[in-house]
Amino acid sequence: MNYRDTLEFANDLDAQDELKTFRSEFLFPQHDGKDAIYLCGNSLGLQPKSVQQYVQAQLSNWQEHGVEGWFNSEEPWLQYHEQLKTPLAALLGAKREEVTVMNSLTVNLHLLLVSFYKPTDKKYKILMEGGAFPSDQYAIESQVKFHGFDPKDAIIEVFPREGEYTLRTEDILSAIENNSDQLALVMFSGLNYYTGQVFDMKAITEAAHRAGAWCGFDLAHAAGNVPMKLHEWNADFACWCSYKYMNSGPGGISGIFVHEKHFENKELKRFAGWWGYGVGKRFLMTSGFVPAQGAEGWQVSTSPVLLMAVHKAALDIFEKVGGLDKLRKKSLLLTGFLEYHIQFINQKHGEELFKIITPKDPGWRGCQLSIICKRHGKATFDYLSKHGVIGDWREPDVIRLSPIPLYNTFKDVYSASKLLDESLSTVG
């Protein structure tokens, strides 16, 4: 698209937007009596207005039925999570039985690693991207220590080449191949939190399997953001959080994917809990764990119904949209519009004052652009905040801005860009 640097152009795009009505389904933080320009859905998505209704319905069920709410309410809690599986599977490119909701992200990562990190004296190493989100780093480090290995030896990190900010797929694949004799697991994020780079999950999975290793993904920044085909790509497992692009509340419930090829594998170990027992016989209270079929067999603890109600409110909006393809189409336009304005500012001032480190190819990025501020970075970020733009600051010099197709407008992007330009003559 040939973008233009005018408010009229932004308003025209908004008028043509087939998703524009969904903005009204969300609650915005206020700034000087108006909606803030919220460009931080990569960290915490906005609250759907329907959340209060969905949660109140379950509070009413609790009030009316007490413990019988598990069985006799309009939406029995025992099966409540079943309502979430179909929309989740659609967002992740999975089969319905391959996904379930449970726990929080890092807890789920640890539970999945019980099954899919099976080190031997020869094959014990884990390969991951350098600079992964700290939770993943800490989880992997503690797992290899738990198995008696030294993280400095057992963890292989793949970093960008000198002078570059993102990873080249060929370097990831080469690292997998070069370490195949010792590699037990490839554990990558689907999208790097810092740079916004989408990784080639299909190619990474194929390379890991050629090396005789399992392959799993942390989809915290990919789920609800970019299209995925986890089943088709043959990934072994994945986990994610729901509070970023899926708008399901701070600390919202997480979920897991386990490929169906593993359902009958009796060799996979797991940490068991009552909620993962087959539901048909769960209440017989017998000893000896018999897992439920599918991903549900990895469940441990009782499902938190109120958290799931928030999640359902958000997922129902995705279903009303009609899938991720429409959102992706708008997302590419929004992010492209932001990229255009960053470049326009640089050209206007005759130098690269703001450097985008997110991949230029739209196919390898999601909603987020990560921008290095060459001058007075924190002061620039503070200027945006003071004027009602809510973004995200990452030390030492990066602002992350994420226009979300469900609730952001082209006018949001235009207005934030004008403030970014204004900051150059104001901060210092």
- The CATH number linked to 348 is 3.90.1150.10
DSSP-derived secondary structure for 102-126: -S-HHHHHHHHHHHH----SSS-EE
What are the residue ranges in the chain where pLDDT is below 50?
A: none
The reply to whether 182 falls in a domain is: yes
Amino acid of residue 32? D
**Amino acid 279: pLDDT:** 84
Distance between first and last Cα of the chain: 35
- Residues 257 and 357 reside in one and the same domain: no
The reply to whether 49 falls in a domain is: no
* Alpha-carbon gap, residue 335 to 413, rounded angstroms: 9
The helix/strand/coil state of 223 is coil
Burial of 58 (0-12, 13-18, 19+ CB in 10 A): buried
* Alpha-carbon gap, residue 308 to 206, rounded angstroms: 34
- Residues 251 and 357 reside in one and the same domain: no
Cα dist from 347 to 188, 251, 382, 413, 427, whole Å: 36, 41, 23, 18, 19
Listed residues 300, 320, 340: the one ending a domain: 320
Beta bridge partners of 240: 255
CB atoms within 10 A of CB 336: 16
Listed residues 280, 298, 320: the one ending a domain: 320
**List of residues 6+ apart from 355 with CB closer than 8 A:** 371, 372, 374
* Alpha-carbon gap, residue 144 to 117, rounded angstroms: 9
Can you give the residue range of the structural domain that contains 411?
7-35+323-423
Cα dist from 231 to 95, 99, 208, 267, 268, whole Å: 7, 10, 16, 21, 19
Half-sphere exposure of residue 359, counting CA atoms within 13 Å on the CB side? 21
Stated pTM of the model: 0.96
- Residues 227 and 360 reside in one and the same domain: no
The reply to whether 46 falls in a domain is: no
Residue at token pair 């603890």 = 301
* Alpha-carbon gap, residue 276 to 278, rounded angstroms: 6
- Residues 316 and 336 reside in one and the same domain: no
Q: Based on C-alpha coordinates, what's the Rg of the chain?
A: 23
**List of residues 6+ apart from 237 with CB closer than 8 A:** 112, 115, 116, 214, 216, 217, 256, 257, 258, 259, 262
- Residues 288 and 177 reside in one and the same domain: yes
* Alpha-carbon gap, residue 59 to 50, rounded angstroms: 14
Beta bridge partners of 356: 371
The helix/strand/coil state of 325 is helix
- Residues 218 and 365 reside in one and the same domain: no
- Residues 12 and 145 reside in one and the same domain: no
Listed residues 254, 286, 320: the one ending a domain: 320
CB atoms within 10 A of CB 120: 9
Number of domains present in the structure of the chain? 2
Q: Which helix (H) or strand (E) holds 99?
A: strand 99-101
**Amino acid 281: pLDDT:** 87
- Residues 198 and 242 reside in one and the same domain: yes
- Residues 120 and 212 reside in one and the same domain: yes
Does residue 49 contact residue 27 with C-beta atoms inside 8 Å?
Answer: yes
- Residues 274 and 355 reside in one and the same domain: no
The CATH number of whichever domain residue 83 belongs to comes to: 3.40.640.10
Cα dist from 212 to 125, 182, 209, 217, whole Å: 12, 9, 5, 17
- Residues 290 and 224 reside in one and the same domain: yes
The reply to whether 50 falls in a domain is: no
**Amino acid 340: pLDDT:** 98
The helix/strand/coil state of 336 is helix
The reply to whether 216 falls in a domain is: yes
The helix/strand/coil state of 214 is strand
The reply to whether 42 falls in a domain is: no
